[in-house]
Chains A and B, each alone.
Chain A
Amino acid sequence: MPGDTPGGALVLSEAAASAAPASRSRNIPYVSLGIITVFVLLALLAPLLGLADPFDQSLRNRFKPPVWEEGGSWKHPLGTDRLGRDMLSRIVWGSRVSLAAGVVTVLVASAFGAAVGLVAGYYGGQVDTALMRMTDATMSFPVILLALILAVTVGPSFTNVVVAIAVILWARYARVIRGQVLTLMHLDFIAQARLAGAGAWRIITRHLFPNTLNTLVVLVTLQIGYVIIVEASLSFLGAGIPPPTPAWGSMIAEGREFVTSAWWVSMFPGLAILLVVLAFNLLGDWLRDTFDPKLRQL
């Protein structure tokens, strides 16, 4: 980072030290953790909850409103959609898609990105330049465009969504981790490890990698929310998880034409996305404030 002159770093750490303990670290985000736990449990236990079959169509029961509206019943607490499928059950099943997409994509992207960042930062020079050129080119490619192309090429599927997002997302990890490694490389303990005869592999895996873990954890948490939104956007555009599998994005798209007469069809999946993403973002914010207050992200 441009501001990281030695003097600047001193001032920064002083500021962080005085501001940190008082306002941060307390306020463990129980609400966020609670929301995430609930959704993870729902996703894992979906088949065991005794919900209506999310694929079960019943044209007679089309567009039943939620239970508190006139004409609603406890049989379909959140109403039914265009084909008479139970909304509650579809939202619960949809959480499997969203969470799985979020977690898998971020893990793949962060593993690859961190590896690139570590190598680029460690070797520096031409390796660094080449890898960073690649990173920059990747970053400037619109994710959704790539996913749309893939969807038409190979047909929309879960794997394609994960691949399309991960292929672009790794670049952010590479950038951040490389930046950190560059700073670490100037520190004494790396020089000492070298003197002690440690090879590149050992320094990267035992010395550099553990020191970037905090940042990685924070970034991973913050990006799960982002990926869930991108996946939902893709499903919304018809390039994500293909129907009839319940996915929040495609549910919103299906309800779009009927917002005026049956608002619940696109409203509830939207709220589900909002809740989950909000929970991950708040948790990520807290993690960052606690473990890596100097990290800047989007």
Chain B
Amino acid sequence: MALAILSVVVFILARATGDPLQLILPMSATPEDYAEARRYLGLDRPYLEQYLSFVGHAVTGDFGMSLRARRPVSELIWQRLPNSLSLAAFAMSVSLAIAFPLGILAAVKKGTGVDRAAQVIAVLGQSLPTFWVAIVLVEFVAGRLQWLPAAGNEGFSSYILPGFTLGWFVVAGMMRLLRSAMLEVLDSEYVKLARVKGVVEGKVVWVHALKNALIPVITFAGIYFAILVTTAIVVETVFAWPGIGRLAYEGISSRDFPVIQAVVLTTAAIVAVVNLGVDCLYAIIDPRIRYAR
């Protein structure tokens, strides 16, 4: 349903971005050349027909030809998507690996140095503009120190800079949520009961408390993912990462309709699938939630 609305919106927006032919054809092109090219690319057909044929093909995974690259858009997407997904997965796992221990520690050792350090990281993470961090990292770590590659994807070392840049924001938010959720749960009756029963403190924190503290974190996981996808456009552009974020940027700057449509729909579909996964995870972790309406 959401995808259907989105496809119409995207179709209209993509059409509204101006005439792509002005960018493709040489300056000296005659009006006849324009008509010829328009017919060749199918842009002379009525909008409704263009839309229906777009939807008809999109359902089967065929997004048409890129106006600029003259290759099937699905090919471009398939070529770029793995790069984006692996970068997102790397960024997500890095941020979880940092956010979890830090968030829990901050809650358990509330008011200590660890807690304060965690808070500083959290606030900084939400206040630093990603693209600026990216530039600073490219300049110092990749440029002056020459430790890591600055652009492109040439194996694992290429993942580190864009991955951390991308994950930084998520670390901040996740850690913060986990800390506040843990504090709330650690103060609750059932945790006190567990302690009174003589359960080892480590088990209380990691098993009893964490299980419930995870619920709000999971709620927000879907939103974080959408933010990650958005941030990826900027990060991929700065690090010249061959993913769909940069494909979107390129597509828009050359008014490549089919590419824009395909990227937006793919992204929306991925976000939708992730949200569905989050909902399912939810039901598993929290037995109070039932999806019977």
- Which residues of A come within 8 Å of B, CB atoms? 1-3, 5, 8, 11-12, 15, 18-19, 23, 133, 136-137, 139-145, 148-154, 225-226, 229, 232-233, 236-237, 249, 252, 256, 259-260, 263, 266-267, 270, 273-274, 277-278, 281-282, 285, 296, 298
Contacts and interface: CB of A to CB of B under 8 A. Distances in A.
B14 interface: yes
Contact of A133 (B2, B212, B229, B248): B2
B199 interface: no
Contacts of B252: 148-149, 151-152
A133 B6 CA distance: 13
Contacts of A145: 230, 233, 248, 263-264, 267
Contact of A149 (B17, B124, B267, B272): B17
Contacts of B123: 278, 281-282, 285
Nearest to B177: A296
A270 B131 CA distance: 9
B132 A270 contact: yes
Interface string B260-287: 1001100110011001000000100010
Interface stretch (B59-67, B76-84, B152-160, B181-189): B181-189
Q: What's the dominant secondary structure at chain A's contact region?
A: helix
A153 B267 contact: no
Interface of B: 1-2, 5-6, 13-14, 16-18, 111, 123-124, 126-132, 135-136, 138-139, 143-144, 173, 177, 180-181, 183-184, 187-189, 212, 215-216, 220, 223-224, 226-227, 229-231, 233-234, 237, 248-249, 252-253, 255, 260, 263-264, 267-268, 271-272, 275, 282, 286, 288-289
Contacts of A249: 129, 131
Contacts, number: 151
Contacts of B260: 149
Closest 5 pairs between A and B when the two form their complex, measured CB to CB: A137-B2, A270-B132, A142-B230, A15-B187, A278-B127
Contacts of A233: 129-131, 234
Given A2-B286, A252-B135, A298-B173, A142 B226 contact: yes
Contact of A232 (B129, B135, B230, B272): B129
A233 B16 CA distance: 23
* Chief secondary structure at chain B's binding surface: helix
Nearest to B131: A236
Contacts of B139: 259-260, 263
Contacts of B249: 148, 237
Given A140-B272, A145-B230, A273-B132, 19 more contacts: A2-B288, A2-B289, A3-B216, A15-B184, A18-B187, A19-B183, A136-B275, A140-B275, A145-B264, A149-B14, A152-B253, A152-B255, A232-B131, A233-B131, A249-B129, A259-B139, A260-B139, A277-B126, A296-B177
A259 B264 contact: no
Nearest to B16: A153
A254 B16 CA distance: 28
Contacts of A5: 288
Contacts of B231: 144
Contacts of A270: 129, 132, 135-136
A266 B126 contact: no
A229 B134 CA distance: 14
B6 A137 contact: yes
A266 B135 contact: yes
A259 B220 contact: no
Nearest to A266: B135
A107 B120 CA distance: 28
Contact of A296 (B138, B216, B288): B216
B17 A152 contact: yes
B251 to A, nearest CB: 9
Nearest to A143: B230
A3 B126 contact: no
B143 A237 contact: no
Contacts of A151: 252
